[in-house]
Amino acid sequence: MIELTSTGSTCYKTVLYNQVIEMENLVIEYERLKNEYQILNMKYESSEGIIRALNTTVETQSSFIDNLKGQSKTYPSTSQNSFHVFTISEDTKVPTSVKDDDSN
């Protein structure tokens, strides 16, 4: 059996005290690293969301362009650039009824 003298007891208390301080420092360091990890994880998730949104935008634009290409293939190209402009002045008489001239 080991007997502790007052000197040995003081030494033992000092060792325990130092271990407690070391453990407290480790807990503080753990909390700091945990907070840093959470911040980095939030930044990563935010960046991932932005990238996902950009990819969706690109895919949407690509689909839109493909749809336009598909539509341009289904319509004849001769009528794409034809415009007819009609001008009617106040003096223009518009018939109210149309009669067939087949009565001859």
pTM check: above 0.85: no
Residue 93 lies in a domain: no
DSSP assignment, residue 91? T
Domain count for the chain: 1
Residue 29 lies in a domain: yes
Residue 49 lies in a domain: yes
> Domain containing 51: what range?
7-73
- Confidence grade of residue 87 (pLDDT, cut at 50, 70, 90): low
User: Residue 27: what are its φ and ψ, rounded to 5°?
Assistant: -65, -40
Higher pLDDT, 79 or 20: 20
Residue 98 lies in a domain: no
- Confidence grade of residue 1 (pLDDT, cut at 50, 70, 90): very low
Residue 91 lies in a domain: no
Are 12 and 4 in contact by the 8 Å Cβ rule? The answer is: yes
Residue 43 lies in a domain: yes
Q: Where are the alpha helices (DSSP H) in 1-104?
A: 6-74
Residue 102 lies in a domain: no
User: Residue 66: what are its φ and ψ, rounded to 5°?
Assistant: -60, -40
Find the Cα–Cα–Cα–Cα dihedral 4, 5, 9, 12, rounded to 10°.
Answer: -60
Residue 18 lies in a domain: yes
- Using DSSP, state whether 66 is helix, strand or coil: helix
Q: What pLDDT does 83 receive?
A: 55
Max mean pLDDT range (43-47, 87-91, 95-99): 43-47
